[in-house]
Amino acid sequence: MKAHHGMYIGGEWRPAAGADTIEVVNPVDEQVIGRVPAGTSADVGHAVRAARAALPGWAATPPTERAAKLAALRDVLVARKDEIAETVTAELGSPLPFSQAVHAGVPILVAGSYAELAATYAFEEKVGNSTVYHEPVGVVGAITPWNYPLHQIVAKVAPALAAGCTVVLKPAEDTPLTAQLFAEAVAEADFPAGVFNLVTGLGPVAGQALAEHPDVDLVSFTGSTTVGRRIGGTAGAAVKRVALELGGKSANVILPSADLAKAVNVGVANVMSNSGQTCSAWTRMLVHTSQYEEAVGLAAAAAAKYGDRIGPVVSAKQRSRVRSCIEKGIAEGARLVVGGPESPREQGYFISPTVFADVTPDMTIAQEEIFGPVLSIIRYEDEEEAVRIANGTVYGLAGAVWAAEEAEAVAFARRLDTGQVDINGGRFNPLAPFGGYKQSGVGRELGSHGLTEYLQTKSLQF
């Protein structure tokens, strides 16, 4: 796809306020594939003004009409799904089949789910002698990461538009071309001007200007806990709504009764998928001491099969971050069974699928998010210890439990301090609330829970 040299503001591509640009690099061959404008606070100001001007009209548009526009958007995404997949592959580096199935496929499902929800949601209800209206919060500032470039955008923009909010999006600097493609899709779906606006740019410049803008009513952020904490602080000081989807360090707990080979193989696939750049990835595998060495052998064999087919990580910066985590794991005494810090290829930001055994819960690799294809296998003696280890990080985004009987796995899952748990490999559900306990975030995305983030209530008494 061809990069746009402007910002999408007020229903048209407009020149950026400044002349600076951001290079977009293909992580497979390190070649520059495009340049987008690096937005400034002036661009953010223009975009917020456009979103504010469009708000009264869009908020007053009947939900069924908003639903029809979202359905049109979904249809454009379907029509352009190959282009979406190719663009994500070009700037993120993920293998094309994965981009087709997940990076293009999931946003289509989510956009469709909000077309349906906008049409069916009860935006008005009776409570005793009151009528309660669920009204849009207002202008939304959406700030998204690069790991699932289109999904992260659609998971914010679709519910916001369904609710009647207007949006200014600041996408990640590593994957702006997918965001520009999304803006083209919004234009093609014929949304009113100003309902959706795009400002590309650097986090500490354009992102921060958006998060701090006094005329933004709600900031919805997905990214690192460090930046999220700062955005939460800014929003708190301004008494402004905020939704934060942050980091994770999820536990995959294999109970002794489980099908060990299946649990290990699915667990390894989960961590290696998207080159480990998934906030909800099960990066800690917890195995009972009686099955520990067998699990390590299975995991090593499963990881070794991937080789460099998983694709690179997104950038040189990310590669050096992941490498230093692997080096720290070795230095702290974990047993490296597959992979390591050396690159498997001379060109591209590749990291070998890596498995560590003999990881103890206090090690850095067991506590900090790595965001690369690195699995830590941790031993537990009994169920109490497994619960303690699983809950023993600052995060609480996701997790998995495996057992012979569903009831046993559910009982264990209820003891986990985490926002979602997959039971025996349960499938992703685009309608289930997604979000974190503890420092993994505030608020929920997807389905009706994701919609309510963008609504506020007004009660009329009779």
Binding site for ligand NAD (CB under 6 A): 143-147, 170-173, 203-204, 207-208, 211, 222-224, 227, 230-231, 245-248, 279, 369, 371, 397, 436, 440-441
139 dihedral zone (left: phi>0; alpha: psi -120 to 50; beta): beta
Contact assessment for residue 3 and residue 178, using Cβ atoms and an 8 Å cutoff:
no
Which tokens hold the place of 379? 């031993």
The alpha helices in 105-238, defined as continuous H runs, are: 105-120, 149-163, 176-188, 208-212, 225-237
C-alpha closest to that of 50 among 178, 203, 213? 213
Contact 14, 179 (CB under 8 A): no
245 is catalytic: yes
CA distance 43 to 202: 12
- Nearer Cβ to ligand NAD (181/279): 279
Q: How far is the CB of 131 from ligand NAD (least distance, A)?
A: 35
Given the residues 91, 184, 279, 445, select the one marked as catalytic: 279
Q: From the CB of 305, what's the least distance to ligand NAD, in Å? A: 26
Judged by beta carbon, residue 164 or residue 247, the one nearer ligand NAD is 247
Largest Cα separation within the chain, whole Å, is: 72
Residue number with CB closer to ligand NAD (224 or 265): 224
The answer to whether residues 115 and 70 touch, using CB atoms and an 8 Å cutoff, is yes
Phi, psi for residue 13 in degrees, rounded to 5 = -85, 115
Nearer to ligand NAD by Cβ, of 277 and 291: the residue is 277
Q: Would you say 28 or 246 has its CB closer to ligand NAD? A: 246
Q: Pick the catalytic residue: 245, 369, 445, 453?
A: 245
Q: Which amino acid is at 318?
A: Q
Nearest approach, Cβ of 142 to ligand NAD (angstroms)? 9
381 a catalytic residue: no
Asked if residue 131 lies in contact with residue 462, where contact means CB atoms within 8 angstroms, the answer is yes
| Nearest-approach distance from CB 261 to ligand NAD, in angstroms | 29
CB of 274 to ligand NAD, least distance (A): 10
Q: Residue with structure tokens 């933004």?
A: 216
Q: How far apart are CA 171 and CA 173, in angstroms?
A: 6
Q: Which residue is nearest to ligand NAD (CB)?
A: 203
Q: How far is the CB of 316 from ligand NAD (least distance, A)?
A: 13
Cβ distance to ligand NAD smaller for residue 224 or 343: 224
Question: Which two three-digit tokens encode residue 457?
Answer: 């209530």
What amino acid positions are annotated as catalytic residues? Answer: 245, 279
